[in-house]
Structure 1
């Protein structure tokens, strides 16, 4: 899916652009446009017919958010939630120059759901997607930077983008652009690194921290902003600090009467703690690295989701499953096997663990490999009937889903 967004190979993108510098990819060098993900007609459908609620919608004019009371209201009888999109209000604000922001499309719009899931798999970092619908000759937000990487995918209309060098390189999530407002305003007066009008089908990659602003031209502009929250060295360091909480000496209270009103009062203790940490990192490097890795894995699983299951269709599939039914591992679901016990094998998932007889280990490995399987093709079992029992349980537990032979 990365190949839809950048006009270069994966290795070149990773080496020369990822987290380093912007990349402009014209439509002529990309495999297709982005009309399958969103279109003006789809935007109208989302606003008028989908009952979308805040915070999945925002509106902004010249860098200032519009009060949501101006474009939301109750859905009426049977849908009395007060914060649903009011198409009348959206029309009024949009006609007055406000940009419509559809947030979290990867949570409710099917084409974007599939796209984001595949892109997350390609990048290995959490991904989300918003849409920006800007009326002609209007700017939604003033020059700023984002604390995540973005792929700007121009859907329809045109938009002029001005991109400037960072004033704060590689910002973290708690280091917003408003902390550098004056420096950004000054940087925006300089010669931009990129000054271009994105046409439908064009893509622009911006690493976090790069200052940018955008302005629609002579017609309504729609673009998708695909945000990527990269894990960083700071994340690993923070995870290591959490791992160090297991060390008793680091949990001891500092001396009575410390009153750390200036650095001099704590410098001695800080040095002592650093010595302890350095020794621990040397003596228990493998253990602490494993703990930190586990913390990072937990965060990744919290920020991403596997492909959604369809409850009614799943129960129908459970009831009709036979030796020839084709199933496959659920996309985006992470799991591992523990077969250290002589009697059982445990399939560990982000939210639960499922125990099987040890005989099932070869079958579970085959399923975990991701290829389509049938009850009759599973290795290590006595017969297809045993395979049906295993697959029926995995189907009910939302581990496998109906598949097809490639």
Structure 2
């Protein structure tokens, strides 16, 4: 199990979304959770999001997966697997120390394998990232946050920028962690064949929230009401939109936001949707309620699917938002959903007397049959 070798609360107070930093020995005695061959195997799968990036002098080559590794050059190339924590149990364990941050901000674990000189060039990301150096060494440069960096179009699949003056210029060795907040330019290349493990946290954009909320309103047939004004005045300027009318239309829009439960349900469903594919397999054969209850009376473990997004509001702990769906339990079962959402594994002992409640067993049976939770090996 991976554990931080530093005080995470102090890190948050000094660096989180404020400034980049390198934490030397952030993980003590770090060992790669996945081998290069296993990572390459994932990159060859259709369901897995992967990329190959190579540099030849000033020319860049990018291929999207599924990848093959025939005729690759000797150096100056990398391949990247997104959401590796969804597909590999060992890689998923690297996420656990980062659970001190909200799960709804968690995006994925991206793993890159690089030959000497391999990298993706200078660029800017709009999310928080913790880059843990695995085997090998990698040289990193990070620049100051500014608005005037000029893009350089070396390849249509790469959003690179021109060079920058670094405020961090250092070599990462196994177990070192580089933290980069949104908006800081950075560039890393492998000094020797190496593995890098990037845990990303991505906050939603205003545009995404507005688009998602509009979809939710339309899908649920909310606000299907026309503008109404029984006090409409006569006018000489028929082309004018009077201020009172503009305000009335604005109020119609604002009234959609003035429904706390509607907002909470939409937000829970929206945040529980996943940007990346999951290794989701429905149970076959399907479980019966009696089998789930019998399972939970044994010293067995139910594990949440890696990468599954499952949330709740503390003030309404009987409602869960899981993979874009909303689930509700009776009021007397309020400890069940927090257990499932806060922990990666749950046992009958943790659930206690709740394993006798028919609604809880029915809920768990549904989650298992959908592949959201499964018996741990």
Q: Same fold (TM over 0.5)?
A: yes
**Structure 1's 397 and 238: CA in aligned 2 closer, same or farther, altered over 3 A?**
closer
Instruction: Specify which of 156, 162, 168 is matched with residue 135 of structure 2.
Output: 156
Please tell me the root mean square deviation across aligned C-alpha atoms, in Å.
5.1
Q: Residues 237 and 121 (structure 1 numbering): CA distance in 2 closer, same or farther, change over 3 Å?
A: farther
> In structure 2, what is the Cα distance between the partners aligned to 1:271 and 1:60?
58
Q: Is the 8 A contact 1:335 1:348 kept in 2?
A: yes
Counterpart of 2:178?
204
Check 1:140–1:52 CA distance in 2 against 1; reply closer, same or farther (3 A cut): same
Aligned match of 2:334: 365
Residues 58 and 103, structure 1, Cα contact 8 Å, conserved in 2:
no
Q: Structure 1 residues 281, 200: closer, same or farther in 2, change over 3 A?
A: same
Partner of residue 56 from structure 1, selected from 50, 54, 69: 50
- Which structure is richer in relative contact order (CA contacts within 8 A, separation 6 or more)? 2
Q: 1:230: which partner in 2?
A: 203
Instruction: Tell which structure's C-alpha radius of gyration is larger.
Output: 1
Q: Secondary structure at the match of 1:140?
A: coil
Q: Deviations over 1:241-273 (max 9, x none)?
A: 77888375679xxxxxxxxxxxxxx9x869778
Aligned-partner SS, 1:214? strand
Alignment match, 2:108: 128
Structure 2 stretches lacking a partner, 5+ long: 229-238, 340-345
Task: Give distance in 2, aligned partners of 1:228 and 1:51.
Answer: 26
Q: Which residue of 2 aligns with 1:342?
A: none
Note closer, same or farther for the CA distance 1:19–1:205 as it changes in structure 2 (3 Å cut): same
Deviation at 1:165, TM superposition (A): 1.2
Cα displacement (A) at 1:314: 8.0
Partner of 1:8: 7
**1:376 and 1:293 mapped to 2: Cα distance?**
26
SS at match of 2:40: helix
CA contact (8 A) 2:302 2:373 kept: yes
Structure in which a larger fraction of residues adopt helix: 1
What TM-score do the two structures reach when normalised by structure 1?
0.63
Q: Which residue of 2 aligns with 1:299?
A: 270
**Deviation of the 1:153 alpha carbon:** 0.9
Q: Distance in 2 between matches of 1:270 and 1:129?
A: 53
Distance in 1 separating the partners of 2:53 and 2:159: 25
Residue 310 (structure 2) aligned to one of 318, 334, 337: 334
Would you say 1:100 and 2:79 are equivalent positions?
yes
Number of matched residues?
A: 343
Q: Which has the higher strand share?
A: 2
The alignment partner of 2:36 has SS state of helix
Q: Which runs of 5+ in 1 are unaligned?
A: 73-82, 252-265, 338-344
Change (3 A) 1:227 1:24: same
- 1:303 is paired with a residue whose SS is coil
- 1:66 corresponds to 2:52: no
SS in 2 for 1:378: helix
